[in-house]
Amino acid sequence: MMQHGADVRWQRWVRFLCGGAVNTLLSYLLYLGLIQIMPYQGAYLVAYVAGVLLAYWLNSRFVFRVPLSWRGMFTYPVVYLVQYLAAAALLELLVRFVSVRPAYAPLLVTAILMPLTYLMNKVVLRRSAATRSGPEMK
Protein backbone atom coordinates (compact mmCIF):
# COMPACT_ATOMS: atom_id res chain seq x y z
CA MET A 1 0.00 0.00 0.00
CA MET A 2 1.39 3.37 -1.01
CA GLN A 3 1.63 6.04 1.66
CA HIS A 4 0.21 9.48 1.06
CA GLY A 5 2.45 12.55 1.18
CA ALA A 6 0.93 13.76 4.44
CA ASP A 7 1.62 10.36 6.08
CA VAL A 8 5.25 10.43 4.94
CA ARG A 9 5.71 14.01 6.19
CA TRP A 10 4.12 13.13 9.53
CA GLN A 11 6.36 10.08 9.95
CA ARG A 12 9.42 12.16 9.08
CA TRP A 13 8.41 14.79 11.67
CA VAL A 14 8.00 12.04 14.32
CA ARG A 15 11.42 10.61 13.40
CA PHE A 16 12.87 14.13 13.69
CA LEU A 17 11.36 14.51 17.16
CA CYS A 18 12.66 11.09 18.28
CA GLY A 19 16.15 11.67 16.88
CA GLY A 20 16.15 15.15 18.35
CA ALA A 21 15.12 13.79 21.74
CA VAL A 22 18.04 11.33 21.74
CA ASN A 23 20.46 14.02 20.56
CA THR A 24 19.15 16.55 23.08
CA LEU A 25 19.41 14.09 25.95
CA LEU A 26 23.00 13.15 25.15
CA SER A 27 24.06 16.75 24.46
CA TYR A 28 22.32 17.96 27.61
CA LEU A 29 24.01 15.33 29.78
CA LEU A 30 27.35 16.37 28.32
CA TYR A 31 26.49 20.04 29.02
CA LEU A 32 25.52 19.27 32.63
CA GLY A 33 28.84 17.52 33.17
CA LEU A 34 30.82 20.31 31.58
CA ILE A 35 29.21 23.17 33.55
CA GLN A 36 30.78 21.57 36.62
CA ILE A 37 34.25 22.38 35.26
CA MET A 38 33.81 25.36 32.91
CA PRO A 39 31.58 28.43 32.28
CA TYR A 40 28.13 27.70 30.84
CA GLN A 41 28.80 29.30 27.43
CA GLY A 42 31.95 27.19 26.92
CA ALA A 43 30.13 24.08 28.06
CA TYR A 44 27.30 24.90 25.68
CA LEU A 45 29.73 25.28 22.76
CA VAL A 46 31.41 21.90 23.37
CA ALA A 47 28.11 20.08 23.87
CA TYR A 48 26.69 21.84 20.83
CA VAL A 49 29.51 20.73 18.51
CA ALA A 50 29.14 17.13 19.71
CA GLY A 51 25.39 17.43 19.13
CA VAL A 52 25.89 18.71 15.57
CA LEU A 53 27.95 15.66 14.65
CA LEU A 54 25.37 13.32 16.12
CA ALA A 55 22.53 15.30 14.50
CA TYR A 56 24.11 14.99 11.06
CA TRP A 57 24.19 11.22 11.37
CA LEU A 58 20.69 10.92 12.89
CA ASN A 59 19.02 13.33 10.48
CA SER A 60 20.74 11.93 7.40
CA ARG A 61 20.22 8.26 8.12
CA PHE A 62 17.15 8.11 10.34
CA VAL A 63 15.00 11.18 9.63
CA PHE A 64 15.42 12.17 5.97
CA ARG A 65 17.03 8.91 4.85
CA VAL A 66 19.67 10.42 2.63
CA PRO A 67 23.16 8.97 2.24
CA LEU A 68 25.98 10.37 4.32
CA SER A 69 28.49 12.27 2.22
CA TRP A 70 31.56 14.37 2.82
CA ARG A 71 29.89 17.30 1.09
CA GLY A 72 26.85 16.96 3.32
CA MET A 73 29.01 16.68 6.42
CA PHE A 74 30.83 19.92 5.61
CA THR A 75 27.69 21.77 4.48
CA TYR A 76 25.58 20.63 7.42
CA PRO A 77 27.36 22.71 10.10
CA VAL A 78 26.26 25.89 8.30
CA VAL A 79 22.70 25.11 9.45
CA TYR A 80 23.91 24.76 12.98
CA LEU A 81 26.16 27.82 12.85
CA VAL A 82 23.07 29.92 12.17
CA GLN A 83 21.12 27.97 14.77
CA TYR A 84 23.97 28.24 17.28
CA LEU A 85 24.17 32.01 16.99
CA ALA A 86 20.42 32.29 17.56
CA ALA A 87 20.59 29.73 20.39
CA ALA A 88 23.55 31.36 22.17
CA ALA A 89 21.82 34.75 22.07
CA LEU A 90 18.59 33.23 23.34
CA LEU A 91 20.51 31.33 26.04
CA GLU A 92 22.10 34.58 27.22
CA LEU A 93 18.76 36.36 27.19
CA LEU A 94 17.09 33.61 29.21
CA VAL A 95 19.89 33.34 31.78
CA ARG A 96 20.76 37.02 32.16
CA PHE A 97 17.45 38.81 31.72
CA VAL A 98 14.74 36.23 32.43
CA SER A 99 16.67 34.58 35.30
CA VAL A 100 16.31 31.04 33.96
CA ARG A 101 18.90 28.78 35.61
CA PRO A 102 21.76 27.83 33.26
CA ALA A 103 20.97 24.14 33.80
CA TYR A 104 17.45 24.57 32.33
CA ALA A 105 17.92 27.30 29.73
CA PRO A 106 19.23 25.02 26.93
CA LEU A 107 16.04 22.95 27.11
CA LEU A 108 13.92 26.06 26.49
CA VAL A 109 16.25 27.16 23.69
CA THR A 110 15.89 23.77 21.99
CA ALA A 111 12.09 23.82 22.19
CA ILE A 112 11.82 27.38 20.88
CA LEU A 113 14.14 26.81 17.91
CA MET A 114 12.87 23.33 16.94
CA PRO A 115 10.66 24.35 13.97
CA LEU A 116 13.43 26.48 12.46
CA THR A 117 15.96 23.67 12.93
CA TYR A 118 13.67 21.13 11.24
CA LEU A 119 13.20 23.33 8.17
CA MET A 120 16.90 24.11 7.85
CA ASN A 121 17.79 20.39 8.18
CA LYS A 122 15.27 19.43 5.54
CA VAL A 123 16.55 21.96 3.01
CA VAL A 124 20.26 21.33 3.51
CA LEU A 125 20.14 17.52 3.65
CA ARG A 126 17.91 17.19 0.64
CA ARG A 127 19.97 19.66 -1.35
CA SER A 128 23.26 17.95 -0.45
CA ALA A 129 21.79 14.54 -1.36
CA ALA A 130 20.47 15.85 -4.69
CA THR A 131 23.76 17.50 -5.66
CA ARG A 132 26.21 15.02 -4.21
CA SER A 133 29.52 15.35 -5.96
CA GLY A 134 31.68 13.15 -3.82
CA PRO A 135 31.90 9.69 -2.41
CA GLU A 136 29.48 8.44 0.18
CA MET A 137 30.71 7.99 3.71
CA LYS A 138 30.60 4.38 4.83
Residue 67 in any domain: the answer is yes
Residue 135 in any domain: the answer is no
Under 8 Å between Cβ of 83 and 136: no
pLDDT in tens, the chain (138 residues): 456 677 888 888 899 899 989 998 999 999 999 999 999 999 989 998 999 889 999 989 998 888 888 888 888 888 888 888 999 999 999 999 999 999 999 889 988 998 888 888 888 888 877 665 555 555
Q: pLDDT value at position 102?
A: 92
Cα–Cα distance, 68 to 27 (Å, whole number): 21
- Number of other CB atoms surrounding residue 47 within 10 Å: 21
> What is the value of pTM for the model shown?
0.68
Residue 30 in any domain: the answer is yes
Residue 108 is part of which domain span?
5-130
Question: How many structural domains compose the chain?
Answer: 1
